[in-house]
Structure 1
């Protein structure tokens, strides 16, 4: 959804990462003179020892009544204190909740306004939409405080808000974020969704050479330049390929794709190793009894993962809580040191005092699966006909800060120029601000799915399955509205219809929308790779007796979301609406237009 064209004086972007989140802003008047003059507030007040961070952990703390308590660093420290005092039982502590949406959709589970997320204990649940609402509202209030403190003289009604979402997210996930933003007090008319790799691409295109890690970056894309954007975040890796057009806008060459090879997968491998070392029983008790130290343990690993350059040292060392070792020795009745000496990893690890040391090879193995998944996928993309000639890879996102990932990508793609901005974790956030100022900079996108309406056709025994016969008709037809891989310029549309009513006095028509990611055009909405997306309801005016309605649908693509216009044949009134992707139906609907 593009924000309305109404007057705005400031753009504020909120970037939800799986691990870290942040916000940034830019007044319209400053953008016109310098698009790089973007303010990213610091979080030093929430950090110890005068440390500074431009992002805060994607962590939410709610009280027993599910009311907001804290977000980010403050949520982590507050919960750790509660845990140490054994007062945390009634609180909801929820981390890395963005990945929950990806997992839900990847499993093709229905995402509704009643979908729930479990807290850190795994025993308590809260509505997912409320979690995102609280988080968005937190950043909205931070922005309003900043306006007041800085004396920017901006009214909230004149703010254009931008929310970042992965390009691989479905329409349902996008609508979910819009609904959460509305619940947080952001009007739909003031909201724009920015696709993360696109935002990073926009930002990096405007950077001078000095803003890249090795001093040799893009310096502004040339017309005809093709480049791959590798947005490696905490949860997912989001990849798109762009080409610069004559008018300096960007054209998508291949539909956005990716997978769950982000930095969290490295965390998972580390946690799996640690659990195998101390046993799952000890790890679970440690998590419940020493929650604060459990959280800090994985915070420490996160910092090491992002910064450790294994070419500059012989071993990797990290701090370990003494309570974990004590717990192990109490429960297992044996010294941990002895257990390590008898394990298969005895040559690769040492646990001395509060330090755990890995050999370089052992530590790098935590990254192997994630790096392999990324590299394999990029190879497949670069082999596609439309992408041929792409010789540049732009690395952004928090996981792209990892020296190990950077090295693996450079080694795997020696024929490509790999460029990394100085602040890869902020590229999406800053680019989202620029996108808010100029949403038309991405002029062509590619449809990721087949979109279709559940419909009827006259039954033909040579073409249709007998199982689908209903009277003289064949039901469950996947009536294709949008073809997968179709290229859409901004605001392009496609018309389908007419669709006629079944009854003279019909007051509305329901169109059941299905999508499919199959290689071939789907035949039925019940095909294995087809799933129900949502329902479009069109209200109909009164007609003369004996006269039926007919409706034409116009699917509008090219933006970050799918829109639709419905036109009836009675008064030719145009209804602009969005699909309801978040209804409570959990099963596929079957049949056709009603």
Structure 2
């Protein structure tokens, strides 16, 4: 076990931000000593007229575990007759949402979620390096790059750990690199940093509170921040209340649109070839969805292959091969049910705040004209400002780069869980179950399986705060301790209460370093330091004055 080396930011003069998304992924980079940020806008097999991100898609052939294409090339390759047995994987980021993953079908070809994400990130990163070699980073080697990878704030500690594992396996950093060379930042935090940088006209002052509504393809995350005025006018933020989110992003609009199209076309044709149907969905996703604001009808030209290019069918709104999507059916059947989920999230979050100065909509779905209109209608009277920053779809990617330049811009976070360990406590008759009673040799009566709280859910936590606990081990044995978490409103009393929302989330293994002056079996005191205020849970061990990193195994 190696010492935890001090991290030197000057070793990494290039900052790379990566937004790995449910439907699209993007990247940006900058030199650490410069303000300008370069977006990656060229992607393989993608025309210049489409979105400046690449689709998060993988293509595998047959039952092979080897990815053959990624991004837009994967989607186009699927249309070739030779790839009829191919498997196209998309929206697989949802497998890291533990609330959804249990209801999703298993990944094909015996692939794991780490396999799939690392396959995509490996090719994504190779293309990123190629594009950077043609820009301002051309004089730097990849081992001088520092990475900021964005994750949903609603993700569990296990999901974040799997994302880090995927990034390492994909070759962004090496296993032996310092942990801080790869930083995870929550997507709404990255967006908040971007809004502060690019929204000076909104004039947020010290003490003002604002909400970030980060609406992407799969997830919608909300966090309320409070502005802090600091030395020389630099503004920092602290998370004001416990944020929350759900999987209710724009892919659920796409699913509802698929259902509507199938319903409309059912009466006009017996079957729709898959590539023709996908062509219509592309028109909806790239044209109709971003433009729709709830006021006008929209139209889709049906492909000639459907043999409907010159037909008229008033029942479904088909006129000489042009299908009409009325404002009412788009609003009622496609957009409004999903937008209502977002409005309910905002409504819940606003109940936790006394006064809110602004709501910023960011992300691909956050750029929706209809979502902006509905948020303005619902909350415009109660909030001073509902706004969409410039290039809202790139807010998270660019914010990640800004975060890499100054990781201390967010000073306080609010934990979404109770964290603690298993312990014993005084047994209380009539409260503690009889089977938990322990009678010690000294006659004292204790209750087993008690939840000893390290971190209180919903209470602000400084990013540098750490919990220190004393342990001991007998040389050269390693130490293993379990960490429990709960998302309950009330403080949990027991660790063995999964039906009440308590579960063991991790085991920390603390290997014993080689200590030349210590005898076999000798007792060694050690301190365990747990940092809960960072985006990722970090655990260190201090043994004989030296700090060591630990191995953490997160449980599903």
TM-score category (smaller protein): 0.7 to 0.9
**Corresponding residue for 1:466?**
434
Q: Which residue of 2 aligns with 1:53?
A: 51
> Which residue of 2 is the match for residue 140 of structure 1?
125
Instruction: Show the counterpart of 1:236.
Output: 219
CA contact (8 A) 1:147 1:153 kept: no
CA contact (8 A) 1:44 1:53 kept: no
Residues 92-146 of structure 1, C-alpha deviations (whole Å, 9 max, x = no match):
31112212212xx115859xxxx99536xxxx45221111112221222122212
CA-to-aligned-CA distance 1:563-591 (integer Å, 9 cap, x gap): 122345xx355333253215xxx6xxxxx
Structure-2 separation of matches of 1:544 and 1:379 = 62
Q: Check whether the contact 2:190–2:397 (CA below 8 A) recurs between aligned residues.
A: yes
Deviations 1:326-369 (A, max 9, x none): 8xxxxxxxx995xx84xxxxxxx423454321221111111112
- Farther-moved stretch of structure 1 (304-313 vs 257-266): 304-313
Contact 1:563 1:578 (C-alpha < 8 Å) held by counterparts: no
Unaligned runs of 5+ in 1: 32-36, 210-216, 327-334, 342-348, 587-594
Counterpart check, 1:162 vs 2:162: no
Normalised TM-score (structure 2): 0.86
1:431 to 1:16, Cα distance in 2 relative to 1, 3 A? same
> How many residues are treated as equivalent by the alignment?
525
Aligned to 1:535: 507
How far does residue 19 in structure 1 lie from its aligned partner after superposition?
1.3
1:357 aligns with 2:332: no
Q: Within 2, Cα distance between the matches of 1:325 and 1:522? A: 63
Match of 2:107 in 1: 118
Evaluate the alpha carbon distance shift between residue 101 and residue 3 of structure 1 in structure 2; reply closer, same or farther with a 3 A threshold. farther
Secondary structure of 1:491's aligned partner: coil
C-alpha distance in structure 2 between counterparts of 1:241 and 1:174, whole Å: 21
Corresponding residue for residue 106 of structure 1: 99
- Pairwise CA distance, 1:277: 5.0
Aligned counterpart for 2:536 among listed residues 550, 556, 561: 561
Report the CA distance between 1:179 and its aligned residue: 0.4
* Residue 517 (structure 1) aligned with residue 517 (structure 2): no
CA distance in 1, matches of 2:475, 2:363: 55
Per-residue deviation, 1:561? 1.2
> Match of 2:363?
397
2:412–2:462: 8 Å Cα contact kept in structure 1? Answer: yes
Q: Measure the CA separation in 1 of the matches of 2:100 and 2:526.
A: 34
1:218 match: 202
Contact 1:453/1:481, CA 8 A, preserved across alignment: yes
Q: Please report the RMSD computed on the Cα atoms of aligned residues, expressed in angstroms.
A: 3.1
The answer to whether the Cα contact below 8 Å between 1:3 and 1:192 also exists between their aligned partners in 2 is no
State the alpha-carbon separation in 1 of the partners of residues 227 and 519 from structure 2.
54
Structure 2: how far apart are the matches of 1:70 and 1:396?
Answer: 29
Report if the CA contact (8 A) 1:23-1:139 is conserved: no
* Compared CA separation, residues 410 and 516, structure 1 to 2 (3 A): same
Q: Sort the Cα spacing of 1:463 and 1:576 in 2 relative to 1 into closer, same or farther, 3 A.
A: farther
Residue 10 of structure 2 corresponds to residue 12 of structure 1: no
* Distance of aligned partners of 1:262 and 1:574 in 2 relative to their CA distance in 1, 3 Å threshold: same
Partner of 2:375: 409
Against the structure 1 CA distance between its residues 467 and 550, is the aligned structure 2 distance closer, same or farther, given a 3 Å change threshold?
A: farther
Q: Where does residue 307 of structure 1 map in the other structure? A: 290
Cα shift at 1:300: 2.2
- 1:314-353 alignment runs, 5 A limit: 315-321=297-303, 337=313, 341=315, 349-353=316-320
Q: What CA deviation, in whole Å up to 9, does each residue of 1:221-280 have, x standing for no partner?
A: 322221000111111111111111121211100122111221112122222334455679
**Could you say which residue in structure 1 is the equivalent of 2:190?**
199
| 1:344 matched residue in structure 2 | none
Alignment of 1:485-496 (within 5 A): 485-496=458-469
Equivalents in 1 of 2:247, 2:190: separation in Å?
Answer: 20
Conserved in 2, the CA contact under 8 Å of 1:306 and 1:399?
no
Unmatched segments (≥5 aa) in structure 2: 441-445
Closer, same or farther in 2 for the Cα pair 1:46/1:564, shift >3 Å? same
- CA shift at 1:42, angstroms? 1.8
Confirm or deny: 8 A CA contact 2:288 2:298 kept in the other structure: no
Alignment of 1:231-270 (within 5 A): 231-247=214-230, 248-270=235-257
Deviation at 1:78, TM superposition (A): 1.4
Aligned 8 A contact 2:95 2:101 in 1: no
